[in-house]
């Protein structure tokens, strides 16, 4: 909106917008009469026209990579089937009881394969359910919608109905849901009454994992051992956190979950933030108190804690509404203290 227009030579004058002498107009060239002020409104358009969004959106078609995977998986399946068929035929040519034994073992293997596939599908569906539930509760908190919050919390209670350690929290939360409470407050109550014990255990899991990584990398003589220890501990932590919050993924589900954790770290810039924070702390006196090897262990432990924090955000079926959730500084003090104790123990033992 532009300022008021005034005749040439007229001194500036202050007007209130609700004054009767102020008039709105779309004509910028119109000259106001004496004693009145004109307020013109101008809409500015972009200098250059924008292309439609579809121009920069990748097309999702049936790619050649999918053709390759389908063809290879089909050939492998045919090869395995023909090998089993040939084996059973050979067993029947030797003697009938060996042939029937081969048929029975093949049937057991087929049942195991079907059970494995069913478990993987159930794990993927469970992870999708948790992701949907977290988005639903986030929407309820953002929009302060009690209806959406109630629907989401009912699903949350169903998710934990077979968990005896959540019985007290589920009972208290069910009582709150019978009252007239805003949607955002309902999500906060769910965090306090139902998810707080799980969050506390999740912090313990991440803290213990960070300590183990810190100690192993500090005493390990080879970098390959450090790498394997960090990889194993991080994967173990992700799986434990998923089971804690109700995910219980299979192999494919775990791979999908690990990919989500890495994506979360990439989006939030967590690895760089953790590295910067660790370097800052080490530069402000920690390196002077610890040996170089233990200092490196602390850095690896902090990065492991950052991965654990990302895993909590991905595995948790509800967003952090009351607060921002765990941060790297929550683990730093205890991790540094444990490294200092290890340093003093090494000094005494030597």
Give me the tens of pLDDT residue by residue for the chain, a chain 350 residues long: 444 454 455 566 666 666 666 666 666 666 666 667 666 655 444 455 666 666 666 666 567 778 888 899 899 989 988 998 899 999 899 888 988 998 999 999 999 989 988 888 888 888 888 889 988 888 888 888 888 888 888 898 888 888 888 888 888 888 888 887 888 888 888 888 888 889 999 999 999 888 888 877 777 667 777 778 788 888 888 888 888 888 777 777 778 877 877 776 666 554 444 445 555 455 545 544 455 556 677 777 888 888 888 888 888 888 888 877 788 777 777 777 766 665 565 543 43
Distance CA 155, CA 173 (A): 12
Distance CA 3, CA 23 (A): 12
- What pLDDT does residue 104 have? 92
Of 45, 64, 81, the domain-final residue: 45
Residue 93, domain member (yes or no): no
Query: pTM to 2 decimals?
Result: 0.65
Distance CA 63, CA 77 (A): 22
Residue 34 parent element (H or E): none
- What pLDDT does residue 248 have? 76
Residue 223, domain member (yes or no): yes
Using DSSP, state whether 212 is helix, strand or coil. Answer: helix
Using DSSP, state whether 273 is helix, strand or coil. Answer: helix
Residue 78, domain member (yes or no): no
In eight-state DSSP terms, residue 54 is G
Residue 80, domain member (yes or no): no
Distance CA 204, CA 122 (A): 28
Q: Can you state the angle between helices 167-177 and 183-190, rounded to 10 degrees?
A: 170
Distance CA 124, CA 113 (A): 17
Distance CA 70, CA 53 (A): 32
> Structural domain tally of the chain?
2
Q: Looking at the chain, how many residues does it have?
A: 350
What is the separation of C-alpha 70 from the centre of its chain, rounded to a whole number of angstroms? 30
| CB contact at 8 A, 126 and 246 | yes
Distance CA 206, CA 174 (A): 30
- What pLDDT does residue 349 have? 40
- What pLDDT does residue 301 have? 81
Q: Residue 220: phi, psi to the nearest 5?
A: -75, 135
Residue 186, domain member (yes or no): no
In eight-state DSSP terms, residue 43 is P
Distance CA 254, CA 239 (A): 7
In eight-state DSSP terms, residue 48 is S
- What pLDDT does residue 164 have? 87
Residue 213, domain member (yes or no): yes
Distance CA 235, CA 17 (A): 64
Residue 61, domain member (yes or no): no
What is the separation of C-alpha 225 from the centre of its chain, rounded to a whole number of angstroms? 28
Q: Which residues contact 120 (CB under 8 A, 6 or more apart)?
A: 250, 251, 252, 253
Find the domain containing 324 and state its range: 195-349
Q: With b meaning 16 or more CB within 10 Å and e meaning fewer, what string describes 247-266?
A: bbbbeebbebbbebbeebbe
Alpha-carbon separation of residue 163 from 160, 244, 246, 253 (angstroms): 5, 10, 9, 21
Residue 96, domain member (yes or no): no
- What pLDDT does residue 41 have? 58
Q: Which residues contact 214 (CB under 8 A, 6 or more apart)?
A: 294, 297, 298, 300, 301, 304, 335, 338, 339
Pure H helices in the chain: 64-94, 96-143, 146-159, 167-177, 183-190, 196-219, 223-244, 251-268, 270-281, 287-289, 292-315, 328-349
Q: Residue 27: phi, psi to the nearest 5?
A: -95, 110
């Amino acid at each position: 909106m532009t300022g008021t227009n005034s005749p040439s030579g007229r001194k500036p004058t202050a007007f209130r917008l609700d004054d009767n002498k102020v008039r709105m107009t779309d004509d910028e060239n119109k000259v106001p009469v004496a004693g009145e002020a004109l307020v013109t409104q101008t809409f500015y358009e972009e200098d250059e026209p924008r292309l439609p969004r579809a121009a920069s959106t990748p097309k999702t078609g049936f790619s050649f990579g999918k053709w390759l995977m389908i063809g290879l998986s089909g050939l492998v399946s045919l090869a395995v089937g023909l090998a089993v068929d040939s084996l059973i035929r050979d067993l029947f040519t030797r003697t009938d009881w060996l042939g029937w034994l081969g048929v029975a073992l093949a049937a057991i293997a087929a049942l195991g394969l079907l059970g494995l596939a069913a478990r993987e599908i159930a794990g993927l569906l469970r992870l999708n359910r948790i992701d949907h539930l977290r988005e639903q509760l986030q929407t309820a908190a953002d929009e302060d919608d009690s209806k959406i919050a109630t629907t989401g919390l009912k699903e949350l209670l169903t998710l934990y109905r077979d968990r005896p350690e959540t019985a007290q929290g589920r009972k208290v939360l069910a009582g709150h849901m019978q009252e007239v409470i805003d949607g955002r407050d309902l999500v906060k109550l769910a965090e306090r009454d139902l998810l707080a014990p799980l969050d506390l255990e999740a912090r313990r899991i991440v803290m213990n994992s960070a300590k183990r990584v810190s100690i192993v990398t500090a005493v390990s003589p080879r970098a390959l051992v450090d790498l394997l220890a960090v990889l194993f501990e991080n994967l173990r932590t992700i799986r434990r956190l998923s089971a804690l919050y109700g995910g219980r993924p299979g192999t494919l589900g775990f791979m999908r979950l690990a990919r989500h954790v890495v994506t979360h770290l990439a989006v939030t810039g967590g690895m760089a933030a953790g590295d910067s924070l660790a370097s800052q702390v080490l530069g402000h006196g920690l390196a002077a108190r610890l040996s170089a090897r233990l200092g490196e262990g602390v850095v690896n432990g902090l990065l492991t804690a950052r991965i654990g924090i990302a895993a909590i955000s991905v595995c948790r079926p509800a967003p952090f509404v009351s607060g921002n959730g765990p941060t790297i500084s929550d683990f730093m003090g205890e991790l540094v203290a444990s490294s200092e104790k290890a340093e003093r123990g090494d000094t005494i033992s030597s």
